[in-house]
Amino acid sequence: MRSRARDIAALALRRLVFAVPVLCVVAVGVFLLGAASPFDPIHQYYGVQIFSASAEEIAQAREALGLNDSLIVQFGRWAGGLLSGDLGVSRSFRQPVAQVIGERLPWTLLLVVVGLVLAVLIALVLGVLAAWRQGGWLDRCVTAIGHALEGIPPFVLALVAIAVFSLSLGWFPVAGLTDAGAEATLGQVASHLALPALVLAVSQTPWLVLHVRQSLLTALSEDHVTGARARGLAEHVVVLRHALPTALLPFVTLIGARVPELVTGAVLVEEVFSWPGVASAVVRAALAVDFPLLVVLSLLATAAVLIGSLLADVAAAVLDPRVAVDG
Amino acid sequence: MVLADGYEPETLNPLLGFGEEGASKLFDGLVEHRADRSVRAALAAEVPQPSPDGRTWTVKLRSGVKFHDGSTFGSEDVVASYRAVLDPAFASTVRANYSMVTAVDADGPSTVRFTLAYPYAPFAHRLVLGVVPSEAVAQPGPLERSPFNGKPVGTGPYKLTEWRKGDRMVMEANDDYFLGAPKVRKLTVVFAIDDNTRAQRMKAGEFDGTALPPLAANGLSDVKGAQIIKHSSADYRTVVMPMANPVTGDRAMRLALNYAMNRAGMIQALLGGRGQPASTPIPQALPEFVEPTAQFRYDKDEAARLLEQAGWVMGGDGVRARGAQRASFTLMYPAGDSVRKDLAQAFASDAKAVGVEVKLEGLGWEAIEPRMGADALVLGGGNPFDPDLKSYPLLHSSFAANGFNNPGSYRNAQVDAALDAGRKETDPAQRVAYYRQFQRAYAADPAMVFLAFLDHTYVVRDGWTGYQEVVDPHTHGLTWGPWWNVQSWVPRG
């Protein structure tokens, strides 16, 4: 058993070492894309003052901002700063990148974690119920709605949710972190979190619920389940104690694989709900070719994906001794 | 008081353009504007006056003023602020406003002297720049890196207590404000970008006021306890005619297009009636400066006559031509600005009616910029305080193709002469004469086709007294609008 733990640690270490070149490639890639983009950062820097500035002043500002330097120099300057712990300054937010991330990341984590937990709970409950009574009305509903939802992008869900729950029913506020002028108290944030988290969860649920249902159906036909039934155990014991654990294993891997979708979903949901997280900052940074912020956000997203899949693999290895850890 | 804004400032640094026209709440300039557009002393002790040759302005400073952090305001802060604007190392975005300044010096702790390269009569209007503590600009370097942008320290009637980016900004009354502590104690500005969402939340009672497009504001006319306020503005929309283009470079063509435009119809149909027709950059908000004979009427026959006279003959396809040159050109507008897009379409259809073909292209500013010399463009801007501030860079030949100034490279010796004379003249009556002369010269050889001055519409909840009507500059955000003087409002009851 000791050696198994060591193997898992070695797996994690291998993945982390492998992450370094991946992150470097992402950083260079984002930088090159930014350089090739048609947006000119000097327009972002000036804002509406660009319309009264003279050509000479704009040229001097370019010089002062280092926009005339070659790509390699600009990249070297940024990378050098990164190594000394300075993430640079965000042009679109006019504040240090570290501060932008520090202010916004907690809200994104809150949204994503609540969204993911909700998605997993909904998926487990509905998936188990659907598989348990395969072919029943609930199963048919869940399967049909699940397939339909797979094709609907999160921002459509978000707009529909606002129209129904905020504007028509008035149950939840439309957008923002708190009511206008209110402090960020627990109650305020919770009521404003409900709708975006729910939308994020629902947008992720179809894959999870259909997967739980399918693997549970497979598990229910396996020998050890048949054996349990033959021993006369109660049906709920058979489903929840014998079939579900086998079915959950691939589910854990699937959750890890869903992290990229979760990141994209968060961008769209935060944008629609004016949620002040890092994901909505992506849009603003991209439009402004705000390289220092854009690259850190891309690195964060990449890291989230890598860590997601690593955690899923480690969890699978811990849960199931048969899983090989040499990959 | 809770206000909603569709525009979030990127920075609160006056040197990067925050509160460029004053009324920033957090900062004070040496002077500030009053409702009648005149200036009055703010951080200055009295309204600054030029020396007899007009090239030196000496400003006596108010004493006993403190910044929000408790430090004392003095001449070193004024000098440091203006020097930072002028120094390219800081990359200030408002430097163009101060291109006439050659030196700023302190003359003791409470006097500052500005030296100008040439006499500049409306200079007092430029002294609204918010003064920052000298410590904030101690280190040369691009201002975008300054922590001051998000944590401003000014002398203004309000101090910033919280700015949650993308969400809201909270300001509290400055009890030590030198003109007395504001009665509206707390000012919260919520950022809600989407016009429809903002209108909904305003309707639901979440806000005490907001700015809305005219049509959205009209939808809130039945809300109890709130009223719609309309401000006229100097905010024009014009179609720039590039001189290098063989079609728009023709004076008769530009004159004809000015007559071909149904400006009243555009304002009615596209702006919900909220606007004023424009023929020159001088707005009705500067009534004494407006030249009545320089206004273009809607007269399609006159337009056709001018075109015929100049040799633009109607072709079989409904488009005129002169020799081998078809009367056809491209008009660019910033994609995403729906008002400009509508105006561009209206321009094209009115031009079509007199046999001129206009092809439309919605583009980003980066794509527009390199093409401004050859293709027409829907441009906006405006300043209600003095005719020089906008007309000079827009139409003087010395600004031809200089950044976004005078993008069509218009050159007219009479216009230049009148604009030059106006900026140097100190006698008010004589200045008016020069600017009227400028408009007559312009109208005989128009550089562009001005369409309209936009009105700004706001929804304001009752509950305060102190509102004073004002003419808005072309600014984003809620520094202007009904709340421009909120520091002197009083809660009712």
Convert the pLDDT of each residue in A48-93 to its tens digit: 777 778 888 888 888 888 777 777 887 888 788 878 877 777 777 7
Phi, psi at B168, each rounded to 5°: -165, 165
Q: Does B203 lie at the interface with A, CB-CB under 8 angstroms?
A: no
Alpha-carbon distance of B489 to B466, in angstroms, equals 4
Q: What is the pLDDT of residues A171-208, one digit of tens each?
A: 777 667 766 556 667 777 777 777 888 888 888 888 88
Confidence of residue A225 (pLDDT cuts 50, 70, 90): confident
Name every chain A residue with its beta carbon within 8 A of the beta carbon of B188. 180-181
Nearest CB to A180; choose among B200, B207, B367: B207
User: Which residue in chain B has the smallest CA separation from A100?
Assistant: B165
Residue of A nearest to B144 (CA): A94
Distance from CA of A169 to the nearest CA of B (A): 13
Which residues of chain A have a CB within 8 Å of the CB of B136? none
Contact yes or no for B331/B378 (Cβ under 8 A) = yes
Interface test with B, best of A39, A51, A52, A272 (most B CBs within 10 A): A52
* Amino acid symbol at A186: L
- Measured over the CA atoms of residue B314, residue B317, residue B321 and residue B327, the dihedral's sign is positive
Cβ-defined contact of A43 to B2 (cutoff 8 Å) = no
Q: Inter-chain contact A43–B366, Cβ cutoff 8 Å?
A: yes
**Closest by CA position to A236, among listed A147, A317, A318, A129:** A129
- Determine whether the interchain pair B10/A94 forms a contact, defined as Cβ–Cβ distance below 8 Å: yes
In SS3 terms, A150-207 reads as HCCCHHHHHHHHHHHHHHHCCCCCCCCCCCCCCCCCHHHHHHHHHHHHHHHHHHHHHH
Residue among A51, A171, A291 with most chain B CBs within 10 A, to mutate: A51
Task: Count the neighbouring beta carbons within 10 Å of the beta carbon of residue B161.
Answer: 12
Higher-confidence residue of A233 and A113: namely A113
* Span B90-147, pLDDT tens digits: 888 888 889 899 999 999 999 999 999 999 989 999 999 999 999 999 888 888 778 8
The answer to whether the beta carbons of residues A41 and A287 sit under 8 Å apart is: no
Whether B271 and B454 have beta carbons less than 8 Å apart is answered as: yes
DSSP calls for B24-85: -SS---SEEE-TTS-EEESSBSS--EE-TTSSEEEEEBPSS-B-TTSPBP-HHHHHHHHHHH
Nearest-neighbour CA in chain B from A167: distance (Å): 8
CB contact under 8 A, A53 and B145: no
Comparing CA positions, the residue from B336, B384, B390, B338 lying closest to residue B364 is B336
Tell me, rounded to whole angstroms, the distance of Cα A258 from its chain centroid: 8
For position B356, what pLDDT does the model report? 95
d(CA A125, CA A146): 14
Q: Percentage of chain A with pLDDT > 90?
A: 0
Q: Which residues contact A228 (CB under 8 A, 6 or more apart)?
A: A237, A238, A241, A242
**pLDDT of B431-471, one tens digit each?**
999 999 999 999 999 999 999 998 888 999 998 998 888 88
**Percent of residues, chain B, with pLDDT higher than 90:** 58
Q: What is the pLDDT of residues A233-279, one digit of tens each?
A: 777 777 777 777 777 777 777 777 777 777 778 877 777 777 778 77
**Statement: residue A297 has pLDDT above 80:** yes
Reduced to 3 states, what is the DSSP secondary structure of residue A267?
helix
Angle at A87 between CA A84 and CA A89, to 5 degrees: 130
Q: Do B150 and A95 touch (CB under 8 A)?
A: yes
Asked whether the beta carbons of residue A48 and residue B17 sit closer than 8 angstroms, the reply is yes
Mutate to test the interface with A, among B12, B144, B369 (most CBs of A within 10 A): B144
CA of B387 to nearest chain A CA: how many angstroms apart?
Answer: 15
pLDDT at position A127 is 81
Measured between CB atoms, which of A39, A49, A276 is closest to B166? A276
Point out the least confidently predicted range of A94-108, B14-28, B288-302, B383-397.
A94-108
User: Residue A180: which of B2, B364, B404 has the nearest Cβ?
Assistant: B2
Which residue of B85, B165, B202, B340 to mutate against A (max A Cβ within 10 Å)?
A: B165
Alpha-carbon gap, residue A286 to A276, rounded angstroms: 16
The residue type at B112: V
Distance from CA of A270 to the nearest CA of B (A): 11
Contact residues on chain A for B93, CB-CB shorter than 8 A? 45-47, 49-50, 53, 61
CB contact under 8 A, B91 and A64: yes
Contact A175 B393 (CB under 8 A): no
Helix (H, G, I), strand (E, B) or coil at B172: strand
CB contact under 8 A, A89 and B144: yes
Task: Determine the pLDDT at residue B475.
Answer: 66
Contact A51 B403 (CB under 8 A): yes
Please name the member of A58, A180, A181 whose beta carbon is closest to the beta carbon of B403. A58
Task: Give the model confidence (pLDDT) of A2-40 as tens digits.
Answer: 577 788 888 888 888 888 888 888 888 887 887 777 777
Cβ of A48 within 8 Å of Cβ of B476? The answer is: yes
- Out of A94-108, B159-173, B302-316, B358-372, pick the least confident: A94-108
A91-109 per-position pLDDT tens digit: 777 778 888 888 888 888 8
Q: Is B16 on the interface with A (CB under 8 A)?
A: yes
Beta-sheet strands, E only, within A68-138: 89-90, 95-96
Asked if B170's CB is within 8 angstroms of A60's CB, the reply is: no
Q: Which of B8, B167, B195, B235 to mutate to test the interface with A (most CBs of A within 10 A)?
A: B167
Report the pLDDT value the prediction gives residue A316, as an integer from 0 to 100: 77
- Closest residue of chain A to B206, computed from CA coordinates: A180
Hey, what amino acid is at B420?
D
Mean pLDDT of B182-196: 86
Of B96, B165, B197, the CB nearest to A52: B96
CA-to-CA distance for A291 and A295, rounded, in angstroms?
6
pLDDT score at A148: 80
> How far lies B421's CA from each of A52, A112, B389, B402, B434, in Å?
21, 64, 14, 21, 7
Q: What does R_g of chain B's alpha carbons equal in angstroms?
A: 24
Across the interface, whether the CB atoms of A48 and B94 are under 8 A apart is answered no
**Residues of chain A found within 8 Å of residue B96, distances taken between Cβ atoms:** 49, 52-54, 57
Specify the pLDDT at position A181.
Answer: 57
Distance between CA atoms of A256 and A258, rounded to whole angstroms?
Answer: 5
Q: Which residues of chain A are within 8 Å of residue B164 when distances are taken between CB atoms?
A: 103, 177, 184, 276
The shortest C-alpha distance from A156 to chain B (Å) reads 16
* Inter-chain residue contact A50 with B403, CB threshold 8 Å: yes
Is the pLDDT confidence value at B476 over 70?
A: no
The answer to whether B370 faces chain A, any CB pair under 8 Å, is no
Phi, psi of B91, deg, nearest 5: 50, 45
Task: Encode pLDDT of B358-412 as tens digits.
Answer: 999 988 787 888 899 999 999 988 888 889 988 999 999 998 888 888 999 999 9
The C-alpha atoms of residue B61 and residue B49 are separated, in whole angstroms, by 13
Note the pLDDT tens digit of each residue in B43-80: 999 999 899 988 999 999 999 999 999 999 999 999 99
Count of Cβ atoms closer than 10 Å to residue A56 Cβ: 14
Query: What mean pLDDT is predicted for residues B255-279?
Result: 92
Residue of B2, B87, B95, B372 to mutate when probing chain A, most A C-beta within 10 A: B95
- The whole-angstrom distance between B357's CA and the closest CA on chain A is 28
Determine whether the interchain pair B402/A54 forms a contact, defined as Cβ–Cβ distance below 8 Å. yes
Backbone φ, ψ for residue A134 (5° rounding): -60, 130
A–B CB contacts, 8 A cutoff, strictly below = 140
Quote the pLDDT of residue A178.
67
pTM over 0.80: no
Q: Mean of the per-residue pLDDT values for chain B?
A: 90
Is residue B105 within 8 Å of B112, Cβ to Cβ? yes
Q: CA nearest B90 in A: which residue? A: A64
- Each residue's pLDDT tens digit, A147-160: 887 777 777 777 77
A1: buried, middle or exposed (CB in 10 Å: 19+, 13-18, 0-12)? Answer: exposed
What is the nearest CA distance from A26 to chain B, expressed in angstroms? 25
Residues of B in contact with A292 (CB under 8 A): none
Question: What's the N-to-C CA distance of chain B in angstroms?
Answer: 15
- DSSP letters spanning A214-260: HHHHHHHTSHHHHHHHHTT--HHHIIIIIIHHHHHHHHHHHHHHTHH
Higher pLDDT, A224 or B208: B208
Chain A residues with CB inside 8 Å of B95's CB? 53, 57
Chain A contact present for B151, CB below 8 A: no
Contact list, A89 vs chain B (CB under 8 Å): 144-145
Higher per-residue pLDDT: B298 or A83: B298
B197 touches chain A (CB under 8 A): yes
Residue-averaged pLDDT of chain A: 78
Nearest residue to B243 via CA among B407, B379, B112 = B407
Q: Please tell me the least confidently modeled range out of A164-168, A270-274, A278-282, B154-158.
A: A164-168
